[in-house]
């Protein structure tokens, strides 16, 4: 197609189809890519899809679903079987929800079972303790936080499974577009934490699904 | 003296004598300043005093005491009465102790009552909960942390008095000499936190003493 | 409510209700949160509330007041008694007034007595000296400054109470969104200064109120 | 002990004993901590232990082993059973080996089976392709790289298991102490990559072990 | 003309006419400069020309061509002979195409022969290997990449000609407007790579043309 | 006036009236300040005045003049006598002209004689050499440059008077809003260069005027 | 000489001989350069000369004088006549004295009259006011400050001559090697301030001398 | 060998043997690598080799030559024929010579003809003009500069061949370990400049040799 070179070996190599990152692509380019993948009966995941682009694309390909908070478009060739392991997604504040939703929906799209635990910041420890019973049943947890980004450390200190930390650009002043929580998470005093890029809910969900479904 | 211009009005204006920041001063300059202040019957606090300089200075002025962990030298014209309010100093890790000691000794030097609660990081929440009864009796708390610097947020969420947060350059990798915990503390999701400079135990102790002794 | 988890123990634990940070929340989410808190007879403080959101929210809940310069919405269950101690708010330039107003209104909302001293920068020292008599009566002072952020140092050198410094993103060129005054304030050569986040008038007012009402 | 507060619940909570980060601790403090943990029959892992400190400690506690390249000291109460899953550690250059060894030894200390694949940078793709058969059998891979930090992306594009990326401060000029590879790894175009702190071989090994032994 | 001072010796000195960087210039200023150069029978290249400015300029000077993706306007006094050497332009992602097109068109405008190889990221090595036969025939290659910016290293490891690397501001989170790939490219472990400014397709094309036509 | 505190001693102390920085002020606030100063027969200089604000202000106070390129408004109580010394303003590119004009107009407003020498970048040294005769007659020179910011060094190496360097945010990619030329100018290998803030044409013109009129 | 290319036109062009920056040069290289300049009867100024190098050089060329605090070596062909204008050098703290001395000695070496006013920080405004009478007689003032770097703003607000500001790397924590005071000085709210590089006492003295001796 | 994996295809693929970057390698590791390559009759280039390591290595393998200024060790299987094209290396200051020598020796080691033009900074333009005749005969030029890093822009504006720019960490204050000249070179207003890493003389020489010997 000139502007996109498909990686048709990816499903074989990695077990999942390619996700399409929509920023920097025109709606028409996205439509062409989507049509091609649907034709190949490949699952389709469109990340960072703006509402106005989604509106245009759904008119051309009505089968595509769209989740506006997470800015995700998707299409599945068939209903998949949900995997057993639990991969909860925790967020520190209301403003972190779009990123958390992107992670939770990515997990579900790929076939993992997720749960949402939102708005439990470190300034109110008892809310975290309330959520502990569910977190302790998890095989992997995604923890999303802006501000000082301390939630992954606190949670990783309480549970025994891997924690995927996602810094968000939420906050003001010296948050610096997510650098403050990114650095916090990199410096977590609790081991067992892996960090993905700022606001990268998709990447967190994808990595958590890989961990949740590690073959044995 | 050419190299130092005394602020003899300071005690009147601010209620405390001037502290002498020793980095960048020669041992001989420090001795001259110390002699002058002792002559004036002013309390003397020497911050960031290296052991080798302290050794030299104590030989010239044996009355000066030295605390090697906190790198503080001091001399008091008379025993002061300890103030009532409690100002505990909390630290996240063993490596934060020099800064925490600098804060606690500054508090005590100025006349406040302090308590040390060391090595209670956010990765082990129960250790924080164990310290809670004492923290809840505080009129102000100093919280010292390196790594991800999350401890002040967690503590400020649990108690009702002001929290003075001190980032330390403890840690490795993306700590960046204390920038990571500094940004965490600036972005604390719990209000009621004021931040001082990286490794500035003296500044934290001084500010905590001011708060502890606010006139009413 | 799914998107927000209330911290109903906060009033007991910290003595104040939770403030609601409105950035990143939809007007409808804010309305739901506000209704819940009003129902619980909790004081309500909405920070960073944009005029267009305030307009929408006031139509749904007319009892809520709005201050457009400080971008604060609030509702009080009953008139509170103003505390005795004085907590003045000083600002360096006209452009710092929105942040200064956020601090002063937060102080008043929580029950402290404040005074505004605006537009007294360090380039005109005599204006600072004119304000000195009032500043010397303060139990705590909030000092707001952009540009080179030197005002807190100068004021802390003149008075004996704690100073809460607020850097602002006011200025141009190498101000870097408030980093320049933030660094100045962190490096204040006058001890007794605690710093809050860039443009964080609410945090400064909250911390100043805690200090102003330290129990004894 | 004053300077260290043990987290004796950790083994129950997280399944592993606490590791002791030795930077910022005196040899005597480390000896005291080590004796206490050995008394409790806890496995002991000392990270960032300098050779001269190790020499001192081994004289006091001869049972402790020391690996100078990885700067790790350790003691195990009994021989553990090695887990089945393979967790290879890959490094880009010879200078990355200390960090890679820290990761591999941590994996082995905790009970995982590891393999070392060293010195395969992205400038010689065929060396990566040679290692592919082993990498494709992995349940999780640790990839250590300095310079441009591209190796995790390339490997994550070739295999289907989670990749833990460790940036190192190896390199010169605009590497900036590991920031360059850290940013590369955060921005990996291949999903399935989680990043730990610069030079944090211990953290990578710990997280990889958690993933390798996810309960099912 | 007051606002622009022509460098009429440039063609003699450097072999090429001056390119006109259009950001920060008004459409009328661009028209005046363009008219002057056309009058002098100088080739004209307008970089970073926005569509709305191009529309205005083409109405005034219809002879000028415009390429909207690369944001380039140009006019040639006569058809030039295409040079023999091949200078392919490779890009990592679809979103890098505008910068890649700016490089390829600059090469062609100056008289070099280019080829486009788009959308071959390092996460799918086999796509790079597919392009290898053409790349191995190149006299110089331009490689454009955002995200982690690893493509130039991988390609420079596979071919023997100079590689001009162009970081792009494509990506999200910790890309920081192109700093992440810029640092990657500066730290390339494969020698033979020269880096130009972020998003600077024109500069890359110009430098590649100089290399492609080095006199011998 | 509540929002502005006049520095009526300034003319006595510094010899010039206060300039009014308009960013962050409402048009109404500017009008009130301007009326007050005009009433006091003070010269009035409004910097960073946006066209739409200027339009509003000129309707209220028609005596105020406005220069849209330099974004300066001004009013003079009487025609001033132009001082003898020459203070030329040099700019590197067309896009630097707004800042250069702000400097030149400030010089003229304060009473200095200026000359404009625009669009002479270091990539065409002969254009600088052409301007040398005039530059060598200067008592002080203002040099404005974005991109790599090298022009002040080159000019300071050719003339014997002080050079005031102004970095601009002109440029793209790794210019970082003017940081690149700011650092270049700070590191100038030619002594005799003083730097003002990014885009701060007013500050450069003011400082140049002070130098041009140093009393003797 | 291979490693150094003399600029023998400089005295004609700029009125002063070249200063020799000694960092990065071997003592033998410095000796060769010094001998050549002395032979040419040129004044010689050696900046950043370490004591051990000075010792070596003085043994080879006893005529050279050395000032250890300012790290300056110098030789004058004949006694110069001191110029009339006063150029005082002010420093904020004792630790700033080496940089301040470098500035004052450079001024005197070039023929200006200087005065030293040391240790007057902004935290004690009355010390600044004490120095005001002398500062008001200055034709140009050099102001050296580390920490928050506020002194140039305060002084520029009190006097009418140009101020040359020198940030120093003095301080700790978030001073960042002088970035904090550099940014403060760039953002000075008082116009009339030009900034030179961090710790660059020579550059400040040179620029101040140019201003002090502006021809008229 | 465990710690190093040879890229024996490299000569075929890239035309040159692998260079050995010695930082982070023990002298014994370097000896083992060198012996292996000499056995294979491969040319050997050891970069960043410290004098004390070189001393040790030369005792083990006397055939290896060492250049202490450039910190390069090398061994050639046979005398190579020098290529025709001229690739001069220009440096701005005496302190840049080690990096410039590393570039010039790398060029000569690989078979190019180089010339050294040292100590011609932009503050003395006439020294650059003196070197112009030789520079205009070049097929590619390497330009090394610290401080403000402006030399590559000025030279690229004067000649028509490609310029390889090398920033150095020479300088003080706001040079920031080479970031200042790196940014200058990235933002060069003269097209035709490619930048390599800070202090990377080897990389510059290697790239210049590739350009100098582009096949046709």
Using the predicted structure, report yes or no on whether residue H7 has a pLDDT greater than 90: no
Chain H nearest CA to G25, separation (Å) = 6
pLDDT at site A54: 97
Contacts of E128 in chain A (CB under 8 A): none
List chains adjacent to chain A, taking adjacency as at least 3 C-beta pairs closer than 8 Å: B, C, D, E
Tell me the three state secondary structure of residue C86: strand
Segment among A81-85, B26-30, G9-13, G38-42 with least mean pLDDT: G9-13
pTM for the structure as a whole: 0.92
Give contacts of G 44-103 with C, CB under 8 A.
Answer: 92-93
At H72-126, the pLDDT tens digits run 999 988 766 777 789 999 999 888 999 999 999 999 998 899 999 998 888 878 8
Q: Subunits touching C (CB < 8 Å, at least 3 pairs)?
A: A, B, F, G
Cα atoms in the 13 Å half-sphere on the side-chain side of A204: 36
Do A and G make contact via 3 or more CB pairs under 8 A? The reply is no
- Check residues F83 and D88 and name the one with the higher pLDDT: D88
Nearest CA in chain C to A147: C197
Please state whether beta strands B65-67 and B44-47 pair in parallel, antiparallel, or not at all (unpaired).
Answer: unpaired
User: What's the pLDDT score for residue E10?
Assistant: 56
Distance between D10 CA and the closest CA of chain B, angstroms = 8
DSSP secondary structure, F162-213, as one string: -EEEEE-S-S-STTGGGHHHHHHHHT-SSSSEEE--TT-HHHHHHHHHHHHT
G23 at H interface, C-beta within 8 A: yes
- What are the tokens at E86? 């091949």
Contact H182 E187 (CB under 8 A): no
Chains A and F touch (3+ CB pairs under 8 A): no
**Which among H7, H25, H48 has the least Cβ separation from residue D94?**
H25
Distance from CA of D91 to the nearest CA of E (A): 13
Which residues from chain G sit within 8 angstroms of residue C180, using beta carbons?
Answer: 183-184, 186-187
Name the strands in the sheet holding E141-145, side by side, starting at the edge strand that comes first in the sequence.
Answer: E116-117, E89-91, E141-145, E163-167, E193-195, H193-195, H163-167, H141-145, H89-91, H116-117
Distance in angstroms (rounded) separating the CA atoms of residues H153 and G74: 34
Longest dimension (CA), chain B: 55
D173 close contact with B: CB closer than 8 A? no
Of E4, E178, E200, nearest to F119 by CB-CB distance is E4
DSSP structural state of residue G86: B
Q: How far is E129 from chain F (nearest CA, A)?
A: 30
| pLDDT tens string G59-98 | 999 999 999 999 999 998 876 677 778 999 999 988 899 9
What angle in degrees, to the nearest 10, is found between the helix axes of F201-212 and F97-110?
Answer: 40
Query: What is the mean predicted confidence (pLDDT) over C76-100?
Result: 86
Token representation of residue D178:
């590991």
Question: What's the pLDDT score for residue B126?
Answer: 83
pLDDT at residue number E216:
59
D190 interface with E at CB cutoff 8 Å: yes
How high is the pLDDT of residue G15? 58
Kindly indicate the confidence band of residue A206, based on its pLDDT and cuts at 50, 70 and 90.
very high
pLDDT digits (tens, 9 = 90+) for G157-188: 889 899 999 999 977 788 888 999 999 999 99
E167 contacts in chain D (CB < 8 Å)? none
- Determine contact: A124 vs chain B, CB below 8 A: yes
Residues on chain C touching B191 (C-beta within 8 angstroms): 19, 202-203, 206-207
CB burial of residue G39 (10 Å; 0-12, 13-18, 19+): exposed
Mutate to test the interface with D, among E94, E123, E156 (most CBs of D within 10 A): E123
Chain C residues whose beta carbon lies within 8 Å of the beta carbon of residue A174? 178-179, 182, 197-198
Please determine, for residue G106, whether its predicted confidence score (pLDDT) is greater than 80. Answer: yes
Q: State the Cα–Cα distance between residues H49 and H26, nearest whole angstrom.
A: 11
Q: Which residues of chain F make contact with C173, given a CB cutoff of 8 A?
A: 167, 169, 178, 197-200
CA distance A206 to D193: 9
| Confidence at residue G55, expressed as pLDDT on a 0 to 100 scale | 96
Test A207 with D187 for CB contact under 8 angstroms.
no
Strand extents, DSSP E, chain A: 19-21, 44-47, 65-67, 72-75, 89-91, 116-117, 141-145, 163-167, 193-195
pLDDT at H49: 95
Tokens of E130: 């597919």
Chain A contact present for E120, CB below 8 A: yes
Per-residue pLDDT averaged across A99-124, rounded? 91
> Residue G23: its chain H contacts at CB < 8 A?
95, 170, 172
- Give me chain F's average pLDDT, please: 88
Closest CA in chain D for residue A194: D194
Q: For position B189, what pLDDT does the model report?
A: 83
| Average pLDDT over chain B, rounded to an integer | 88
- What residues of A are in contact with residue C48 (Cβ under 8 Å)? 172
Contact B3 G97 (CB under 8 A): yes
Cβ pair A198:E127 closer than 8 A? no
Mean pLDDT split into 10-residue runs, chain E, 216 residues? 55 64 89 89 89 96 95 85 85 91 94 92 85 94 94 92 94 85 92 95 95 81
Structure-token match 């709005």, residue found: C66
Least Cα distance to H174 among A100, A86, C177, F187 occurs for: F187
Query: What b/e sequence results for D104-119 when a residue is b if at least 16 CB atoms lie within 10 Å of its CB, and e otherwise?
Result: bbbbbbbbbebbebbb
Contact at CB, C5 and A170, closer than 8 angstroms: no
* Other CB atoms within 10 Å distance of the CB of residue C39: 8
F interface test, pick of E6, E23, E24 with most F CB neighbours within 10 Å: E24
DSSP β-ladder status, C193-195 and G65-67: unpaired
Q: Would you state the structure tokens that stand for residue C210, as one six-digit string?
A: 């805690």
CA distance F153 to chain H (A): 6
Q: Does A183 touch chain E (CB under 8 A)?
A: no
List chains adjacent to chain D, taking adjacency as at least 3 C-beta pairs closer than 8 Å.
A, B, E, H
Which residue from H29, H36, H35, H49 is spatially nearest to H7, judged by alpha carbons?
A: H36
Is the pLDDT reported for residue B2 higher than 70?
no
What pLDDT is stored for residue B6 in this prediction? 53
Q: Do β-strands B72-75 and B65-67 pair in parallel, antiparallel, or remain unpaired?
A: antiparallel
The residue among B190, B187, B185 whose CA lies nearest residue B161 is B190
CB C196 within 8 A of CB B195: yes
pLDDT of residue C60: 96
Q: Which chains touch E (3 or more CB pairs under 8 A)?
A: A, D, F, H
Query: Is there a contact between H187 and H181 (Cβ–Cβ < 8 Å)?
Result: no
Q: pLDDT (tens digit, 9 = 90+) per residue, G156-165?
A: 988 989 999 9
Judge whether B3 and G119 are in contact, CB under 8 Å: yes
Contact between residue B120 and residue D5 where contact means Cβ atoms under 8 Å apart: yes
Please answer yes or no on whether B94 and D4 come within 8 Å at the CB atom.
yes
Tokens of B114: 């302090």
Predicted local confidence at residue D162, as pLDDT: 96
* Residue F188 CA from chain centroid, whole number: 21
Contact call for H191 and E197, based on CB within 8 A: no
Q: Do H157 and F189 touch (CB under 8 A)?
A: no
For residue G14, the model assigns a pLDDT of 59
Six-digit token string for C112: 């402290």
Q: In sequence order, what are the residues at sequence separation of 6 or more whose Cβ sits closer than 8 angstroms to the Cβ of residue H62?
A: none
pLDDT mean across residues, chain H: 88
> Rounded to an integer, what distance in angstroms lies between the CA atom of residue C199 and that of residue C98?
9
> In Å, how far is G148's CA from the nearest CA of chain C?
4
Name chain C contacts of G180, Cβ cutoff 8 Å.
183-184, 186-187
The whole-number pLDDT of residue C172 equals: 75
Answer yes or no: is pLDDT of A9 > 80: no
Distance from CA of H199 to the nearest CA of D (A): 6
Q: What residues contact residue A38 under an 8 Å CB cut-off, 6+ apart? A: A44, A61, A63, A75, A77
Average pLDDT by stretches of 10, chain D with 216 residues: 55 64 89 89 89 96 95 85 85 91 94 92 85 94 94 92 94 85 92 95 95 81
For D157, the closest of E124, E146, E185 (CB atoms) is E124
What value does the mean pLDDT take over residues G15-29?
A: 82
CA closest to A156 among chain B residues: B123
For E194, the closest of H19, H194, H216 (CB atoms) is: H194
Helix residue spans in chain E (DSSP H): 10-14, 27-39, 51-60, 97-110, 125-136, 151-156, 179-186, 201-212
- Report pLDDT digits (tens) over A46-91: 999 999 999 999 999 999 999 999 999 999 887 667 777 899 999 9
Check: CB of residue A144 under 8 Å from CB of residue A168. Answer: yes
What proportion of chain C, given as a percentage, has pLDDT over 90? 59
Measured CA to CA, the distance from residue C211 to residue H162 in angstroms comes to 64
Distance from the Cα of G74 to chain B's closest Cα (Å) equals 23
The stretch F49-55 carries a mean pLDDT of 96
Q: Which residue has the higher pLDDT, A133 or H171?
A: A133
Of all residues in chain A, the percent with pLDDT exceeding 90 is 59
């Amino acid at each position: 197609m000139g502007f996109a070179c498909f990686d048709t070996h990816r499903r074989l190599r990695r077990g999942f189809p390619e996700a399409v990152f929509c920023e920097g692509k025109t709606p028409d380019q996205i439509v062409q890519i989507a049509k091609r993948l649907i034709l190949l009966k490949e699952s389709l995941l469109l990340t960072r899809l703006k509402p106005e682009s989604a509106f245009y694309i759904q008119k051309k390909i009505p089968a595509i679903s769209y989740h506006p908070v997470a800015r995700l478009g998707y299409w599945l060739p068939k209903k998949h079987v949900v995997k057993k392991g639990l991969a909860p997604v925790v967020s520190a504040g209301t403003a972190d929800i779009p990123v958390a939703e992107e992670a939770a929906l990515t997990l579900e799209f790929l076939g993992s079972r997720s749960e949402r635990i939102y708005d439990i910041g470190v300034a109110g420890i008892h809310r975290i303790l309330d959520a502990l019973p569910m977190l302790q049943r998890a095989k992997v947890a995604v923890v999303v936080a802006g501000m000082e980004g301390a939630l992954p450390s606190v949670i990783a200190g309480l549970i025994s499974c891997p924690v995927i930390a996602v810094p968000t650009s939420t906050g003001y002043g010296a948050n610096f577009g997510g650098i403050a929580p990114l650095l916090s998470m990199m410096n977590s005093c609790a081991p067992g934490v892996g960090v993905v890029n700022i606001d990268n809910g998709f990447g967190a969900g994808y990595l958590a699904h890989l961990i949740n479904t590690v073959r044995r």
